[in-house]
Amino acid sequence: MRSGERINDRYRIEQQIGSGGMANVYRAHDEILNRTVAIKVLRSEFSHNEQFIRRFEREAHAATSLNHPNIVAIYDVGDEEDLYYIVMEHVDGVTLKQYLQEEYISVDEALRIMGQICDAIDHAHANRIIHRDIKPQNMMIDQHGNVKVTDFGIAVAMSNATLTHTMSVLGSVHYFSPEQARGKFADEKSDIYSLGAVLYELLTGRVPFIGETPVAVALQHLQDDPIRPMDLNPNVPQPLENCVMQALAKSPGSRHVSVAAFKKDCMTALSRERANEPKRLPVNQEEFDQTLVMTPVVAEEKPDTPAPSSPLPVSTEQETKEPVKKKKHKWWIWILLIIVLIGGSIAAYMVADEMSRAVVPDVVGMSIGDATSELENEGFVVEVTERASDDVKEGEVISQNPQEGRKPKQGTTVTIVVSAGKETVEMPNVEGLSQSAAERMLKDLAFSDLEIKTEASETVDSGDVISQSLDPGEEVVPSEVTVTLVVSTGSNKVELSNLAGYTFDEASTYADQNKLKIVRRDEFSTSVPKGQIIRQLPTAGTAVDPGTELTVIVSEGVEPTDVSIEREVNVEVEQPDEDEQPKAVEVVIRTVDARGEIEVLRDNITETTTYSYTLVIAPDEVGTATIEVDGEIVRTDSVTYAQAKEAQ
């Protein structure tokens, strides 16, 4: 179906969001109720199978009776022009299979998810609906982490399809129960087996059985035991492993009595009361998997027909019947001969079969070379997989499948899991992160030995990581290394205050507080009172490191040889006629004398004003005053040292 097409003049197709062996799934908009829905449309190759269609409709309608927060709600079921569809709740999220591939699942998180799945399946069983196709692909995780189970109706209908219709039936074989793999009737116990397979994957990150073909996987469901979860994930406690292995029992009678019992077993696995629970031994129900050879039943001879102990005389009538008795006796001989031949053949077959089998030795803990040699000497094919382990030395066998003591045929593949040593991780780059974020990231990766050092930095903000002791990308074993982080305390530079007008004692206190070295220089000044700081080096506002030398120039007052002279000047302002607005002018007076160039005055006036100013003149020097009006020099006064002395 294409975007924009409508179903039942109500549901507008927006986008295909899924595809399976039986149906395609589309996101659509319900134009009547103005909501987003998901529509599962039966593939066209099934639309002409009347028996399948009736079963599909019956089960799809039955699914509408399920009302549970962990089950995808069914809104509508219909058909039009050989188009069969189910309208259901749209879940904004991903399948549990995708979630497993993208997220790390802790044991607590696995139990939280499994609890919701069990609630959904238990509700379905209470309504007489068996799912029959429980798998992570049929479960959705929404944006809030809630689980929604789907595909109830289709899953039951699929049990009526043949394998030639679609390979999707075999596609779920990783979660099939042994009875489903045999083609037998599936019931609540079959769903419990599938729940156990899903929990196994949540805890270990892999399905219970792995094979090159679906048939190979199905045979493992019938014949083999999965690798125990604790061998794949050491964080799985023994009580929880017991729960998983019981749910995966070959015989339905050995599994939990109900989904509720399975959930209770899961949810109490972490309790203190079960902390020391031993490994739960499987119930012996070999009859589920084996064909029994029974002793042939032979008819007993009648007690009133005693065996003759000695020859007896016979009558003529007996002589007449003698050939008949001999013929009957020969018939029984042939029967016995046939039985003996069949029994011998069976015995020969059993002997040959027994001779073709070998006991699997215990190779756990051996080196990979020794384990391989011992298994091959017994006639087995060895397949090696590696897994990191903190407890088992590199190159030694962690686990094996089949387990020791089993007696499969020679030539059977024995899979051994060999330790790759302690698990290494890639050292992350935490430079530039805050100290708390860096520590959290490293602890999540199992780095436990962290050392923090501090250092001032002009470029890295306070509290952020400046550098790390291990290079990013380096492969390391977290438990065997110490990671040193250098964290910034920020800049330790001091921004100098303006010390002009301070006394030297006050400046010294300031320097001590900021860890600066203070140097004093004295200088005559006609403008700064004696004992006060005239200026400083470096200048105010400069950022300096602790220990920097701060030079302050302290006034000694007016130099004794200098002569001060006070002068007056009148600045005239010509105004326009009286009826016009008075005109303001700007007056600036500057002096150049022993003090240097100084702007003495800057003022705005509207009438003639008299100003006074002082010149400080050194010997053999001249003091000059310049008067500007609106930017133009209108007067310049110059006074020599001799003139100033005479005026005193």
- One-letter amino acid at 151 equals D
Q: Which amino acid is at 184?
A: K
Residue 271 burial class via C-beta count within 10 angstroms: exposed 0-12, middle 13-18, buried 19 and up: exposed
Peptide bond into 560 cis (omega under 30): no
Give φ, ψ of 143 to 5 degrees.
-65, -20
Q: Which two tokens stand for residue 538?
A: 């470096």
Is 133 annotated as catalytic?
yes
Cα first-last separation, the chain: 112
Three-class SS of 148-185: EECCHHHHHHHCCCCCCCCCHHHHCHHHCCHHHHCCCC
Strand partners, 570: 610
Contacts of residue 35, Cβ cutoff 8 Å, sequence gap at least 6:
29
Q: Measured between alpha carbons, how far is residue 71 from residues 22, 74, 150, 177 in Å? A: 20, 9, 6, 22
Q: Which of 133, 224, 562, 593 is catalytic?
A: 133
HEC profile for 502-551?
CEHHHHHHHHHHCCCEEEEEEECCCCCCCCEEEEEECCCCCEECCCCEEE
The dihedral formed by the CA atoms of 543, 546, 551 and 555, expressed in degrees to the nearest 10: 90
**How many CB atoms are located within 10 Å of the residue 279 CB?**
12
Output the six-digit token pair for 596: 């240097």
- State the number of CA atoms in the 13 A half-sphere of 611 facing the CB: 21
Inter-residue contact 582 to 556 (CB < 8 Å): no
Chain-centroid distance, C-alpha 84:
39
Q: Are 404 and 361 in contact (CB under 8 A)?
A: yes
Q: ω before 402 within 30° of 0 (cis)?
A: yes
Query: What span, in angstroms and rounded, lies between the C-alpha atoms of 297 and 127?
Result: 47
Residue numbers annotated as active site: 133
